[in-house]
Amino acid sequence: MIEAAVAPRPVTPVGIVAERLGRAEERLVAAGVADDLLVELRHAMRVAEGLEPYVEAHTSPESEALAGLARLTAATDWASGNTDGGPALEQEMLSGHVEGAFLAFLVRATGARRVLEVGMFTGYAALAMAEALPASGAAGEDCEVVALELDPRAVEVAREGFAASPAGARVRIEEGPAAESLARLAAAGERFDLVFVDADKGGYAGYLDQLLAGDLLARGAVVAIDNTLLQGEPWAESPSANGSAIAAFNDRVAADPGWERVLVPLRDGVTLLRRRDT
């Protein structure tokens, strides 16, 4: 039985803005600020806090298997499990409904048959993309999502969630450091039509290099990079290490004329990339 979970903290730029506007309103009311100023603040707060729920309500609904995986992730006690020195995990790492629908849409729109995910966590995005795959490609080959994940507890939760959906059988999990897994896939001659990168932020540049050097991208492949707005930190005055890493990655990609690119302000930012010479 899944217990009630603590509500996730805001981790997107607009969610953070809405939360801070709410705190500002409480302080201004307590200070007796004039009503006309509060009217302006409340209007801005309503716009900010209403955006993500509105987007979710007007996006195709998630499957019951995806909803169950989200509940399972939220009910897992991530805080007490980081005893092996690995990266800290939290329920907010889940891609979620809207981003999952976006990625599934990409699978169908690009006609992807083989998908790679670098950084699976509990597998919401992997399962959403697997649900969008056909059973087999034009040449009869099996279609699949290859998902790379380092943390064994995240893998355990993912496997439980995948078991609830027929599409879960289309996900192949590769456990271990992503760089090592990418090297193995390259050595095996595997290539992918769509790649979703959502792993350690400091590793993004290296993973992109490996995709190219290992010839892991099929002709016309699309690469989707998550968290490229990272809570607004890339343009903040004092970003965290992750914020600085994302800012440097974004600048590097923008300076490379070989990439066709667009940064989509979806959730915490998703950058879509495609090589111009393919």
93-137 pLDDT tens trace: 999 999 999 999 999 999 999 999 999 999 999 999 999 998 776
Q: Which CATH number is 92-275's, of 3.40.50.150, 3.20.20.10, 2.40.50.1020, 1.10.3720.10?
A: 3.40.50.150
Q: Mention every residue, 6+ apart, whose C-beta is less than 8 A from residue 160.
A: 72
3-state secondary structure of 5: coil
For residue 136, report the phi and psi dihedrals to the nearest 5 degrees.
Answer: -150, 160
3-state secondary structure of 239: coil
- Of the pLDDT bands very low, low, confident and very high (cuts 50, 70, 90), residue 92 is confident
Q: How far apart are CA 200 and CA 231, in angstroms?
A: 15
Indicate the residue type of 269: G
Residue (of 91, 80, 104) closest to 11 by Cα position: 91
**pLDDT at residue 87 greater than cutoff 90:** no
Here the tokens at position 119 are: 């950084």
3-state helix, strand and coil shares in percent for the chain, rounded to the nearest 5 = 50, 15, 35
Question: How confident is the model over 85-99, as a mean pLDDT?
Answer: 86
Mean pLDDT value across the chain? 92
Residue (of 132, 77, 78) closest to 110 by Cα position: 132
Q: How far apart are CA 264 and CA 255, in angstroms?
A: 18
Choice among 11-15, 117-121, 180-184, 258-262 with the minimum mean pLDDT? 11-15
Question: How confident is the model over 230-258, as a mean pLDDT?
Answer: 96
pLDDT for residue 5: 60
Choice among 14-28, 222-236, 258-272 with the minimum mean pLDDT? 14-28
Question: How confident is the model over 250-260, as a mean pLDDT?
Answer: 97
pLDDT for residue 212: 98
- Of the pLDDT bands very low, low, confident and very high (cuts 50, 70, 90), residue 7 is confident
Specify the pairing of strand 114-118 against strand 192-197. parallel
**pLDDT at residue 86 greater than cutoff 80:** no
pLDDT for residue 2: 44
Q: What percent of the chain has pLDDT over 90?
A: 81
Compute CA distances 10 → 92, 189, 268, whole Å. 8, 40, 10
- 8 Å CB contact between 129 and 144: no
Residue 6, judged by CB atoms within 10 A of its CB (0-12, 13-18, 19+), counts as exposed
Return the biggest CA–CA distance within the chain: 70
Choice among 25-39, 83-97, 213-227 with the minimum mean pLDDT? 83-97
Domain regions of the chain by residue span? 13-57, 92-275
pLDDT for residue 137: 61
- Of the pLDDT bands very low, low, confident and very high (cuts 50, 70, 90), residue 226 is very high
3-state secondary structure of 82: coil
pLDDT for residue 1: 37
